[in-house]
Structure 1
């Protein structure tokens, strides 16, 4: 698939939601393309001005013109992709040729993982603005819980890319047990 790209240091995994402020002409063009193709655009991170291999296809679910003339959009992450190559057009907008990466399969939560889900519930209660993006949170789906944690945690780009390259949530779950279990033991 060929897809317009938006390089940003925002990490979204399938099911993730975020808001963006759009003001540069090349990204206004990206929004127009995404609105007409009904396929969305690619959200991708970069390291040293090089776009990373893994990204997330997102669709626009809402938009609003702000008083300062900036366009505000709400995006929803649909699926991961692997970037085969990318280029810039004359307007500076990036495009890429990408291959779909299978989404992680939903997994029911088990007894050993309840604290990870409960910690995310608590975080959502402490940050209602962020929680408002998820009117129907799926705290019983361990894959969904792991993805939301990975989006929130302050990880390096190469760590985020590594998690995106995994076939399922198990590496993320193991990592979260280390981080959250250690934090709970310190209390």
Structure 2
């Protein structure tokens, strides 16, 4: 399916929630088209001037007019996505053919308590971030969900983020996060 692409340095994975401010006409159009079609759009990253091969298909779950008059939207990651045949339209909106990729299976042992507790602590220290999950409560019992949230908040290079999002399961992410948080 051909969808609009929203290139940002923001990394969001399935189940992740964030808010965006929309002010450029091309992204107002992207939001209108996503709302009209019900297909969402893809949050993508850039490598220089090029759109990266993997992104996240997102749904718009809420919108509001911000105090400054701009459009605010809340998005939730729906699935990882592979992006092909990228082009830029006349108004500079990026579009591409998108293949939704399956969820990471929850087929590994639970994470050590220190990994889950450290993420809970981050949520406690940043209540504005945690508040984004009021409608979709944080699921600290889901190891895949916890790994995905860690990958979103860690300061990783785009190449690292692209490598993790391209994986068929969360095993590498789990190993990386456990190693990173080891005593």
Q: TM-score range by the shorter chain?
A: over 0.9
- Corresponding residue of 1:26: 26
Matches within 5 A, 1:1-187: 1-107=1-107, 110=110, 113-135=112-134, 136-181=137-182, 185=183
The answer for unaligned runs of 5 or more in structure 1 is none
Name the CA distance, whole Å, in 1 between partners of 2:161 and 2:108.
23
Q: Call closer, same or farther: CA 1:78–1:58 in 2, change over 3 Å.
A: same
Name the CA distance, whole Å, in 1 between partners of 2:107 and 2:120.
18
The farther-off stretch of 99-108 and 78-87 is 99-108
Q: CA deviation at 1:108?
A: 6.8
Contact 2:6 2:41 in 1 (8 A): yes
Q: How many residues were matched structurally? A: 181
Q: Structure 1 length as normaliser, TM-score?
A: 0.93
Name the CA distance, whole Å, in 1 between partners of 2:138 and 2:28.
31
The answer for unaligned runs of 5 or more in structure 2 is none
Contact 2:108 2:171 in 1 (8 A): no
Name the CA distance, whole Å, in 1 between partners of 2:165 and 2:7.
16
1:83-138 alpha-carbon deviations (Å, 9 max, x no partner): 1211111111111012121111235753x622111111111111111111223211
